[in-house]
A and B are shown apart, each in its own frame.
Chain A
Amino acid sequence: MSTPGTTGLVLEEGLSFAQSVKGRIGYSLPPSGVPENDPTAKLPKTLLRKTPATLPEISEVDTVRHFVRLSQQNYCKDVGLFPLGSCTMKYNPRITEEVSKIPGFANAHPLAMPEATQGSLQLIHELQQYLAEISGMDFVTCWPSAGSHGELTGMLMVRAYQTSKGNPRKKVIIPDSAHGTNPASAAICQYEVVTISSNKDGILTAEAVAGVMDEEVAALMVTNPNTLGIFEENIQEICDVVHKKGGLVYCDGANLNALLGIVKLGDAGVDLLHFNLHKTFSTPHGGGGPGAGPVGIKKKLEPFLPNPVIVKENSVYKLENRPQSIGRMKAYFGNFGMLVRAYTYIREFGPEGLRKISEMAVLNANYIRKALMGTYHLAYSRPSLHESVFSDKLQKDHGIKTLDIAKRLMDFGYHPPTIYFPLIVHGSLMIEPTESEPKDSLDQFIEAMKLIAKECEEKPDFVKAAPHTTFRGRLDEVKAAKELKLRWNP
Chain B
Amino acid sequence: MRYIPHTNEEIQAMLKSVGLRSVEELFSSIPESLLLQKPLKLPPPLDEQTLLGQLESIAARNHTLPMNRSFLGGGVYRHYIPSTVSDLIRRSEFLTPYTPYQPEIAQGTLQLMFEFQTMVSEIYGMEVANSSLYDGSTALSEAILMAIRIGKNRKTVLLPESIHPEYTQVAKTILKSFDEHFVTLPITKEGTIERSSLNDYLNPDLACCVIPYPNFFGIVEDVRDIVEKIHQAGGLVIFSVTEPLSLGLFESPGALGADIVCGEGQSLGLSPSFGGPFAGFFATKQTFLRQMPGRLCGMTTDNKGKPGFVLTLSTREQHIRREKATSNICTNQALCATQITLYLTLLGKEGFKKLAQLNWQRTEYAKQKLSAIPGVTLPFPTSTTFNEFVIQLPKNADVVLKDLRIKNFDGGISLDHWYPNLDNAVLVNVTEWNGKEDMDAFANALKGSIQ
Contact = CB atoms under 8 A, between A and B. Distances in A.
A104 interface: yes
Given A109-B76, A474-B104, A336 B45 contact: no
A152 interface: yes
Given A109-B72, A291-B331, A336-B277, 14 more contacts: A6-B105, A26-B84, A29-B355, A47-B250, A73-B107, A74-B109, A102-B55, A104-B64, A119-B58, A120-B274, A284-B335, A289-B332, A367-B17, A485-B300
A463 to B, nearest CB: 14
A70 B60 CA distance: 37
Contacts of B162: none
Interface string B134-156: 11111000000100000000000
A72 B273 CA distance: 28
Contact of B355 (A24, A27, A79, A384): A27
A370 to B, nearest CB: 5
B251 A356 contact: no
Contacts of A484: 289, 298, 312-313
Contacts of A467: 104-105
Nearest to B47: A348
A391 B313 CA distance: 26
Interface string B1-20: 10111100011011101111
B177 A189 contact: yes
Interface in B36-64: 36, 39-46, 48, 51-52, 54-56, 58-64
Given A328-B169, A331-B135, A87 B102 contact: no
A323 interface: no
Interface string A160-199: 0000000010000000000111011111111001000000
A100 to B, nearest CB: 8
B36 A415 contact: no
21 contacts: A25-B350, A27-B355, A35-B365, A54-B122, A55-B122, A64-B84, A70-B107, A71-B88, A134-B42, A146-B329, A184-B322, A188-B328, A189-B177, A264-B36, A285-B96, A286-B95, A333-B276, A360-B6, A421-B319, A470-B104, A485-B299
Nearest 8 interchain pairs by C-beta: A332-B275, A286-B335, A104-B59, A350-B45, A327-B173, A119-B61, A110-B275, A290-B277
Nearest to B5: A438
Nearest to A483: B300
Secondary structure class of chain A's binding surface, majority of residues: loop
Interface string B320-357: 11111101111111111010001011111111111101
B138 A149 contact: yes
Contact of B59 (A75, A105, A481): A105
A475 B135 CA distance: 31
Interface stretch (B183-191, B303-311, B370-378): B303-311
Contacts of A331: 75, 135-137, 164, 166-167, 170, 275
Given A27-B355, A347-B54, A76 B34 contact: no
Contacts of B224: 46
A419 to B, nearest CB: 9
A330 B137 contact: yes
A43 B18 contact: no
Contact of A39 (B90, B136, B357): B357
B173 to A, nearest CB: 3
Interface stretch (B21-29, B199-207, B230-238, B443-451): B21-29
A206 interface: no
Interface string A89-109: 111110101111011111111
A325 B114 CA distance: 39
Contacts of A485: 298-300
Contact of B300 (A76, A193, A438, A477): A477
Interface stretch (A209-217, A338-346, A452-460): A338-346
B391 interface: no
Contacts of A89: 98
B325 A184 contact: yes
B413 interface: yes
A473 B304 contact: yes
Interface string A254-279: 00000011111001100000000000
A57 B255 CA distance: 23
A479 B432 CA distance: 45
A37 B435 CA distance: 15
Contact of B276 (A330, A421, A480): A330
A439 interface: yes
B379 interface: no
- Chain A interface size, as a band, is 35 or more
B436 A46 contact: no
A17 B373 CA distance: 47
A222 interface: no
A461 interface: no
Interface in B243-295: 247-252, 255, 271-277, 279, 289, 295
Interface in A104-128: 104-113, 115-120, 122-123
B29 A17 contact: no
Contact of A71 (B36, B93, B321): B93
Contacts of B297: 486
Interface string A36-71: 010100111011111111111110100110111011
A60 B298 contact: no
A245 B115 CA distance: 52
A146 B331 contact: yes
B276 A145 contact: yes
B242 to A, nearest CB: 9
B62 A117 contact: yes
Interface string A140-161: 0000011111011000100100
Contacts of A354: 40, 42
A476 B303 contact: yes
Contacts of B335: 284, 286-290
A349 interface: yes
B27 to A, nearest CB: 6
Interface in B185-226: 220, 222, 224
Contacts of A181: 318-319, 328, 330
B312 A263 contact: no
Contacts of A415: 98, 102, 105
Given A181-B318, A350-B42, A472-B107, A49 B295 contact: no
Given A106-B273, A287-B100, A149 B26 contact: no
A414 B356 CA distance: 45
A168 B222 CA distance: 43
